[in-house]
Amino acid sequence: MALRALRKLKFTTRYSQSILNAEVSKNSLKCFAAYSTQEGDYADIVISGGGMVGAAMACALANNNLLKDKRIILLEMDRDKGDFVLSEKYSNRTCALSPATARLLSGFGAWQEIQSLRYHPVLRMQVWESCADAMITFNNDDMTEALAYIVENDIILAGIMKALKSFKDRVEVRYQAKATSYSNIDSQSVSSTKLPYVEMTLNDGSKLRTKLLIGADGMNSNVRKTAGFHTINRDYGQTAVVAILELGDTTQNNTAWQRFLPTGPIALLPISSNLSSLIWTTTTENSKHLLDIPSESFVDAVNDALWHEREKNQIAGQALSVFRNLLQNVFPESQEQCRQLPPTAINVVEKTRASFPLTLIHSSQYVKPRVVLIGDAGHRLHPLAGQGVNLGFGDVECLNEILTKAVQNGADLGSLTHLLEFETQRQRHNVPVMATIDGLQRLYSTDFTPLVLIRALGLHAVHSLPVLKKFIISRASV
């Protein structure tokens, strides 16, 4: 009898507790509804900026089952353009997506969408300069595995947005929406337990509050500026001229070409069997000239930049010849020069010539309480290595992993405890890449003989040692 009474008491207690919990939950929902109505809308995560990186961030979070009960809002300044229609004309803005980026996009279905549209693999890369005969080539052993994939920017975004539509129940996309002002975005106020959110006023006058604001709003990030992130800026005093070129003598257009000139590098990236995307970094004055001259003259200027020999340094050439023989004797297994001649441009596709200025921007911090920067909002670098957007997609992958850990540990999504881990991981990766690219830009922007000699010998040494080349390829793929 006593045992039966005890069991009945335990059941009654559990039943009463469940009713109490249900009432508490019900009252909480009522309070939340009242809060949303009176104080403004609420989302667990708000992503400001619906470009390639911001949209990819939304997809990654929506695809994360541990975040399925979180409300996510993506603010996109542009209008909803509806279903993407692939144009026969190629766009002059392209990206070289790394295999790691392709794997990330594949994880939530965007890479499959891109493949159904248009992309072109790079199987080989050749880099050389105008002041010496030193060069380096990159390719995987069997020449079947791609080093990168050249994709037009609008196709990348279209593929990601198409994938995002499959997560419409998890992500709310607000088009033609942007925050016009923020409050509680400085580190002192948002760290207070009394204000555990960031509040923003949108361009339609509505209020929106969130536990975590992700700034993916580009190099002129309003989130970064409003939150008071300290940034390092460098104006390169250079302009990138872009265009789509038709090539005349290609059978398999799968090589990316880059030649360093004292005024900046010129690169051809394959986008089809007979078309390549031109990215020519040059002085601002020369860029204006290149945009103004007739098409025939522009094509002649491109071919001259790829082929001319008038800047060759004789001292560097002689030293390189001696060094090449010495290296071959010391390391018989070192690779010989296997130079391929660059293609010849025969035409520039009409209305594809354009230009944009080049600057370096790096935020000293990527995070503050309840605020995190990703992509160009946190770091923008010189395009000579084509790594800018890949660093942004790396931010997406890392932040998704960090937020997963936060949920598993029951932590506040906007807490600095785990956001600082994101900053540490990404700066350890991004800063060396940015420093290397900035250093290369400085090193190759001169025809000073000692520097020409140093870079020629160094480039040939790396080219001749397969171990170093494989290491570089492996690092560029992650």
Predicted confidence (pLDDT) per residue in 1-15, tens digit: 443 443 443 434 443
Radius of gyration in angstroms for the set of CA atoms belonging to the chain, rounded to a whole number: 27
Q: Can you give 228-257 as a three-state secondary structure string?
A: CCCEEEEEEEEEEEEEEEEECCCCCCCEEE
Band of residue 24 on the pLDDT scale cut at 50, 70, 90: very low
Residue 476 is predicted with a pLDDT of 62
Q: Are 449 and 410 in contact (CB under 8 A)?
A: no
Which residues make Cβ contacts (< 8 Å) with residue 183, sequence separation at least 6?
198, 199, 200
Residue 138 is predicted with a pLDDT of 87
Distance CA 476, CA 470 (A): 10
| pLDDT, tens digit (0-9, with 9 covering 90-100), for 421-450 | 999 999 999 999 999 898 888 889 888 999
CATH no. for 41-477: 3.50.50.60
**Could you tell me what percent of the chain has a pLDDT over 70?**
85
Band of residue 196 on the pLDDT scale cut at 50, 70, 90: confident
Band of residue 473 on the pLDDT scale cut at 50, 70, 90: low
pLDDT at 22 over 80: no
- Tokens representing 315? 């001292």
28 or 407, which is more confident = 407
What does the angle CA 340 – CA 313 – CA 382 come to, to the nearest 5 degrees?
Answer: 65
Tokens 């080049």, located at residue: 358
214 or 182, which is more confident = 214
- Pick from 348, 347, 311: nearest CA to 449: 311
Distance CA 31, CA 36 (A): 9
Residue 474 is predicted with a pLDDT of 67
Residue 94 is predicted with a pLDDT of 95
Instruction: Please state the rounded mean pLDDT for residues 58-74.
Output: 96
Distance CA 357, CA 238 (A): 6
**β-pair partners for 367:** 372
CA 36, chain centre distance (Å): 35
Measured CA distances, 95 to 77, 224, 432 (Å)? 22, 24, 21
For 305-329, b/e burial (b = at least 16 CB within 10 A) is: bbeeeeeebeebbebbeebbeebee
Band of residue 329 on the pLDDT scale cut at 50, 70, 90: confident
Instruction: Please state the rounded mean pLDDT for residues 152-159.
Output: 97
Residue 6 is predicted with a pLDDT of 38
Residue 26 is predicted with a pLDDT of 39
Band of residue 350 on the pLDDT scale cut at 50, 70, 90: very high
The sign of the torsion formed by the CA atoms of 121, 287, 127, 306 equals: positive
Distance CA 209, CA 329 (A): 68
What is the β-pairing status of strands 379-380 and 135-139? Answer: unpaired
Distance CA 349, CA 96 (A): 20
Distance CA 363, CA 423 (A): 11
pLDDT at 193 over 60: no
Start-end of H helices in 352-465: 388-408, 416-444, 449-464
What is the β-pairing status of strands 255-261 and 124-129? Answer: parallel
Distance CA 103, CA 431 (A): 23
- Pick from 55, 43, 57: nearest CA to 198: 43
Instruction: Please state the rounded mean pLDDT for residues 141-153.
Output: 88
For 403-423, b/e burial (b = at least 16 CB within 10 A) is: bbebeeeeeebbbbebbebbb
Residue 36 is predicted with a pLDDT of 44
- Tokens representing 165? 């539509």
Which residues make Cβ contacts (< 8 Å) with residue 444, sequence separation at least 6?
129, 260, 262, 265, 455
Start-end of H helices in 63-109: 99-107
Band of residue 39 on the pLDDT scale cut at 50, 70, 90: low
Band of residue 321 on the pLDDT scale cut at 50, 70, 90: confident
Q: Are 51 and 178 in contact (CB under 8 A)?
A: no
474 or 101, which is more confident = 101
- Tokens representing 460? 């040939």
Whether the predicted model's global pTM rises above the 0.75 cut: yes
Measured CA distances, 311 to 125, 133, 265, 323, 463 (Å)? 23, 11, 14, 21, 22
Residue 334 is predicted with a pLDDT of 55
Band of residue 213 on the pLDDT scale cut at 50, 70, 90: very high
pLDDT at 333 over 60: no
pLDDT at 254 over 70: yes
Q: Domain locations in the chain? A: 41-477
